[in-house]
Chain A
Amino acid sequence: MRGPALSSLALSAAEEGGFQPPTISETHLPDILPWMAPWGTGFGKNMLMVILAVVLITWLFSFAIRKQALVPSRGQYLAESAYGFVRNTMGRDILGDKHFRPWIPLLFTVFFFVLFNNLFGAIPGLQMPTFSHAGPAYAMAAIIWVTWIGLGFKLHGAKFMKLMTVPSGVPKPLLLILTPLEFLSNFIIRPLTHSLRLMAVMLAGHIIVMLAGSGAEFLIAQQEGIANAGLGVAVLLGSIPLYFLELIMMVLQAFVFALLTAIYIQGSIEADAH
């Protein structure tokens, strides 16, 4: 929680001089096609990064596994470990030996798509996680939402709605309260938290980067005096551990997003078990 500390630093700077903290609007860069058009009217950086992620993931994994060697090269070993991590940790351990096989591609795609798009926030030049924008996060959560609900109805029929909303072993009068709550929790809040968790963490990280950058620039270049410059350097130095913290958050959020996907699917498969 160094974000608030940094923003208060920036705010105190704003009281002294003309420092303008970066705004949410500044995370919305002008579009690429048509060039410099207002955000949301054409093809933007965010979309470019989505395509970049698709190309990168496809190329990296296809390239690593192209030989399918029995004794793997270093690259193939790394890719196999990554694949095995998703397959075993998120697939087999959560979905169980019986059900996990058909879901490996989905979990693999979710994890690496989110991971690569998050890591774009740590790469100079790109420096923006795709999911710091709400749209992509909502889209991902919606796809997962449709998937697990569709799966539930396919496996259990109309009974799935009852299984998801009426908890078993609860006295009848309590059901009057619990059933709407369960419905709200499972069908409405679940996809919202699923997407907002990812979006908020990525946006916060992105804003911290912007704050550190603009704050340091303001202190070093626009303010006079050695003390302010020193403070600016301190901000830059402080942003280094923040960068690594952000890196951890990026990986962690990708992991959490994919893990929750697996848990939701598992909940649909075994809806009648609890």
Chain B
Amino acid sequence: MGENMVSTTLIRAAEYEDANPLLPNPWEAAVAGIGFIVLFIIVVKVIAPRFEQSYQNRVEAIEGGLNQAEEAQAEAEALRAEYEQQLADSRAEASKIREEARAEGAQLVAEAQEKAAAEGARIREQAQAQIEADRAAAAASLKAEVGTLATQLASKIVGEALDDDARSNRVVDRFLADLDAEQQSQGAPQ
């Protein structure tokens, strides 16, 4: 609307003026066209790529920073999980070791007890054997001595020397055997 008014005014103006503003100067048109195309080529080759690049760089920098932060966080998370795992592992191991130690200790105690018991038994056995041997020795020595004593006593009592060794030995042996039998029969019920 406004431009129509302006152009009609101009056309009216042109009617009584000498120049028509609608008629172009072809050289000016050519220079403007060429100038525009030159500028367009400069913009395509240099200016627009630089602005786009700058914009792209900024986008990448911001997104890269975000990604980096995310990565760092993930890494920290992984480390934390690892530490926690390690901690749990070492705790489990410690309790296992404790358990083992306890079991080992119990075993050691049991072994020691067993050994002590065995030792005791052995000592008792030895002592018994010793006693038995002593008793046998005592019995043997007694047997000899008692025989002699009894023989002497008997000969004194009888008043005659029992020279006949064979007979006296037989008598002594029988006596001792009786003594033994008596002792056996007395000891068995005990």
Q: Which residues of A contact B (CB under 8 A)?
A: 1, 3-4, 23-25, 27-28, 39-40, 44, 46-47, 50-51, 53-54, 57-58, 61-62, 65, 68-70, 72, 76, 79-80, 83-84, 87, 104-106, 108-110, 113, 130, 133-136, 138-140, 142-143, 193, 196-197, 199-201, 203-204
A209 to B51, CA, bound (A): 37
Indicate if the CB atoms of A47 and B27 lie closer than 8 Å: yes
Which B residue's beta carbon lies closest to that of A23?
B17
Measured between beta carbons, the chain B residues less than 8 angstroms from A143 are: 33, 36-37
11 contacts between A and B (CB under 8 A): A44-B28, A47-B31, A51-B35, A53-B35, A54-B39, A70-B57, A109-B36, A134-B22, A139-B33, A142-B33, A143-B37
Residue-wise interface mask of B (24-49) relative to A, using a CB-CB cutoff of 8 A (1 in contact, 0 not): 11111111110111111011101110
Q: A139-B24, A140-B32 are known; give 9 further A-B pairs, CB within 8 A.
A: A24-B17, A61-B47, A68-B53, A87-B51, A106-B40, A108-B47, A113-B36, A130-B32, A139-B30
A44 to B17, CA, bound (A): 22
B3 at the interface (CB under 8 A from A): yes
Interface of B is mostly: helix
Indicate if the CB atoms of B28 and A133 lie closer than 8 Å: yes
Indicate if the CB atoms of B9 and A203 lie closer than 8 Å: no
Number of interface residues of B (CB under 8 A): 47
Interface residues of B in 175-190 (CB under 8 A from A): none
B158 at the interface (CB under 8 A from A): no
A83 to B40, CA, bound (A): 14
CB proximity of A15 to chain B, nearest CB, Å: 15
Within 8 Å by CB of B24, from A53, A61, A62, A138, lies A138
Indicate if the CB atoms of A54 and B47 lie closer than 8 Å: no
CB proximity of A44 to chain B, nearest CB, Å: 7
CB proximity of A264 to chain B, nearest CB, Å: 16
Measured between beta carbons, the chain B residues less than 8 angstroms from A27 are: 19, 21
Q: Which residues of B contact A (CB under 8 A)?
A: 2-3, 5-7, 9-10, 13-14, 17-33, 35-40, 42-44, 46-48, 50-55, 57-58, 61
Measured between beta carbons, the chain A residues less than 8 angstroms from B35 are: 50-51, 53-54, 113
Measured between beta carbons, the chain B residues less than 8 angstroms from A109 are: 36, 39-40, 43
Measured between beta carbons, the chain A residues less than 8 angstroms from B47 are: 58, 61-62, 65, 105, 108
Measured between beta carbons, the chain A residues less than 8 angstroms from B2 are: 1
Indicate if the CB atoms of A135 and B27 lie closer than 8 Å: yes
CB proximity of B3 to chain A, nearest CB, Å: 5
Indicate if the CB atoms of A54 and B48 lie closer than 8 Å: no
Indicate if the CB atoms of A135 and B28 lie closer than 8 Å: yes
CB proximity of A9 to chain B, nearest CB, Å: 15
Which B residue's beta carbon lies closest to that of A7?
B9
